[in-house]
A and B are shown apart, each in its own frame.
Chain A
Amino acid sequence: MKTREAVYLKVVEILSDLFEVDVTDISESSRLYDDLDIDSIDAIDLVVELKSYAGKKIGPDDFKSVRSVGDVVNAVCELLGNE
């Protein structure tokens, strides 16, 4: 079982590796589009990465309401069956 903390660190790692986001700019409340300059094309790459991390299929609806980094972490945790 992956802890919420581990998921968060993974998300931060993906954001900095793939999208050149400065790690120090990232917090749970950072908004993907407004604060981190993640556009809709990046979002697809992000979902692909998270899919391989979670080892689960991610449906298009699972990330519909995602706005912030915290939302991403929550969505992944939910997929993994964490509470």
Chain B
Amino acid sequence: MYVETGSPVELMLKVMNYYWRLIATAIAFILFGIGGIFVPLLATPVLYLLPGNKRLRQVGARKLIHIVFKAYIHMMRAMGILTWDVQGLEKLQRPGILVLANHPTLLDVVFLVAFVPNANCIVKSRLMQNPAMKGFVTITGYITNDNGETLVEKACCSMDSGSALIIFPEGTRTTPGSELSFQRGAANIIVRGKVKPTPVVINCQPETLSKHQKWYHIPDRKFHLSFCVLDDMEVEKYMEMNASVAARQLTRYLEDTYTQEVMLDERRSI
């Protein structure tokens, strides 16, 4: 059947697709909430019952999250909510790397954990007050953000032991339309841990699931997330300087670099 552009049939299909995606998005959110309670509740005792030590339990717990998040993003794609592409995925498969990404959407961390095996993250310390999460978060060895003193040290130890550490230097999702503003934690980890960061530039078109947007603010078509993994950044010169000055200068350098890369990426995608 030939459908004229903008014909009533096409319009109706578009409206139906919109409502389907709205329902699918609701299902995805509900599943995430349910999973967030039951996966840790079930996995924690199982991991303790299986033979193994602290280290093996950590590997197991992270592997589980990696698989669950992978399944979750494939489910969302199958439901027609979104699509994605990754460039340079192999760069994320190395142990002990520091992954620094911009943070346009709520799903960024889900994708990065689905891409990176044995990923460590920095999580809100509030998670430790959640009875369903507490035990499980402890097993994963995820770093809590409550203490700046120990955070840098823990981050460096984690990478030394071979974990890939994922950080969003902005500390929170990007406010759409405003400039990228990085906190200094990531730069401090780089200069004190002497590690070259692996940048990931994330782009979401059309914009959705950003800060200040509710779950039901879905775009008029299925959205696409692109992940571009760049080569490790050359930041050696900052490692020889006084750490607190270096962290400030490096933070500005990172902000400039990411702002540029995000702009280039957006231009490519339009």
Q: What is A's interface to B at a CB cutoff of 8 Å?
A: 18-20, 39-45
Contact = CB atoms under 8 A, between A and B. Distances in A.
B196 interface: no
Contact of A39 (B148, B242, B243): B148
B247 A20 contact: no
Instruction: Please give me the 9 A-B residue pairs with the lowest Cβ-Cβ distance, nearest first.
Output: A40-B148, A41-B148, A18-B244, A45-B244, A41-B188, A44-B149, A20-B248, A42-B244, A19-B244
29 contacts: A18-B242, A18-B244, A18-B245, A19-B244, A19-B245, A19-B248, A20-B245, A39-B148, A39-B183, A39-B184, A39-B185, A40-B147, A40-B148, A40-B149, A41-B148, A41-B149, A41-B151, A41-B152, A41-B184, A41-B185, A41-B188, A41-B247, A42-B184, A42-B244, A43-B148, A44-B148, A44-B149, A45-B243, A45-B244
Contacts of B149: 40-41, 44
B172 to A, nearest CB: 15
Interface of B: 147-149, 151-152, 183-185, 188, 242-245, 247-248
A20 B246 CA distance: 10
Q: Which of A18, A41, A42, A45 lies at the interface centre, i.e. has the most chain B CB atoms within 10 A of its CB?
A: A41
Q: Is the interface of B mostly helix, strand, loop or mixed?
A: helix
Nearest to A49: B244
Contacts of B242: 18
A68 to B, nearest CB: 19
Contacts of B243: 45
A40 B247 CA distance: 13
B158 to A, nearest CB: 17
Contacts of B151: 41
Nearest to B149: A44
Contacts of A40: 147-149
A41 B147 CA distance: 9
A19 B183 CA distance: 14
B173 to A, nearest CB: 20
A39 B248 CA distance: 11
A41 B149 CA distance: 6
